């Protein structure tokens, strides 16, 4: 087993405190990563507080992970020690049915294995990114460019893909108009992707008028506050 250090909630609703635990050993298809940054997602709070379902405690949250590869299994082909890498919401696969075979492991018929507050195929709990190391199956590890700021890259593993995926699915691009509701963790990603990456005209709806300046700086073409109907800014 791999010795690890983390911040964990020992019980539902508890504050995170330092905790030492053991990660599973590296298998032939696994990648071990030294965690350098981990984003904070509101779903981490929901899981610690048992808002959705009974959790597995002690719980180490975190699923927006960026770090550097320290070790790889003997069958790993895409990664070598020293490379930057990232991990999102899932860490292994079951390969048990049609959904898994077409890359939809999130709909695994036997249940997917989440980065934390879940159990792996070995029956052991998974622990997330509020720690110094993690072991992940190769298919769920992403390459990260050395040119990217790592602290800003980490949130792309959840907030980023949550907005980018539907934008790509609906083929949003130049000539389209995109409406974004809110400028929170997801909304600001939608604004940035919509215009800066995909070239769509972007309209932001927000009930707090003071967010207008931020929205326009991020790439929104227009800002609409529900306390002041109509466009109150734009390009």
pLDDT in tens, 157-213: 999 999 999 999 999 999 999 999 888 889 989 998 988 889 998 888 877 777 888
Residue 73 has pLDDT above 90, yes or no: yes
Segment 22-45 shows an average pLDDT of 95
Higher pLDDT, 195 or 234: 195
- The secondary structure element, H or E, covering residue 84 is strand 84-87
Looking at the predicted structure, is the pLDDT value of residue 235 above 50? no
Residues 190 and 137 in one domain: no
**How many structural domains does the chain have?**
2
Round to whole Å and give the CA distance between 18 and 9: 9
Strands 177-181 and 201-206: parallel
Of the candidate ranges 54-63, 81-90, 175-184, the one whose mean pLDDT is the lowest: 175-184
Q: Does residue 224 share a domain with residue 110? A: no
Three-class DSSP category at 195: helix
Residue 228 has pLDDT above 60, yes or no: no
Which of 122, 138, 154 is the endpoint of a domain? 154
| Residue range(s) defining the domain that contains residue 63 | 2-154
63 and 132 housed in the same domain: yes
pLDDT the model gives residue 226: 63
Candidates 214, 217, 224; CA nearest to 183 is: 214
Cα 87–Cα 88–Cα 90 angle in degrees, nearest 5 = 100
* 148 and 218 inside one domain: no
Rounded distance, CA 169 to CA 28, Å?
34
DSSP bridge partners of 222: 203, 234
Q: Among candidates 181, 189, 120, 179, which has minimal Cα distance to 158? A: 189
Quote the pLDDT of residue 154.
96
Q: Between these two residues, 161 and 228, which has the higher pLDDT value?
A: 161
Are residues 189 and 218 in contact, defined by beta-carbon separation less than 8 angstroms? no
Q: Which of 42-46, 99-103, 184-188, 219-223 reaches the highest mean pLDDT?
A: 42-46
Residue listed under structure tokens 């779903």: 43
């Amino acid at each position: 087993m791999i010795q690890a250090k983390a911040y964990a909630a020992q019980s539902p609703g508890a504050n995170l405190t330092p905790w030492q635990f053991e990660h599973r050993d590296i298998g032939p298809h696994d990648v071990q990563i030294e965690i350098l940054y981990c984003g904070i997602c509101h779903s981490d709070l929901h899981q610690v507080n048992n808002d959705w379902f009974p959790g597995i405690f002690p719980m180490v949250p975190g699923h927006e992970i960026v770090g550097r590869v320290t070790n790889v299994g003997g069958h790993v082909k895409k990664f070598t020690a020293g490379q930057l890498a990232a991990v999102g919401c899932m860490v292994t696969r079951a390969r048990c049915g049609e959904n898994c075979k077409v890359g939809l492991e999130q709909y695994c018929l036997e249940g997917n294995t989440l980065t934390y507050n879940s159990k792996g195929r070995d029956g052991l709990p998974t622990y997330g990114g509020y720690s110094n190391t993690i072991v992940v199956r190769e298919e769920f590890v992403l390459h990260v460019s050395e040119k990217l700021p790592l602290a800003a890259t980490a949130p792309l593993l959840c907030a980023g893909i949550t907005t980018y995926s539907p934008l790509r699915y609906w083929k949003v691009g130049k000539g389209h108009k995109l409406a974004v509701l809110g400028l929170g963790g997801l909304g600001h990603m939608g604004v940035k992707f919509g215009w800066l990456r995909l070239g769509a005209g972007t309209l932001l709806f927000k009930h707090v008028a003071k967010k207008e300046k931020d929205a326009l700086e991020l790439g929104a073409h227009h800002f609409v506050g529900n306390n002041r109907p109509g466009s109150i800014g734009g390009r």
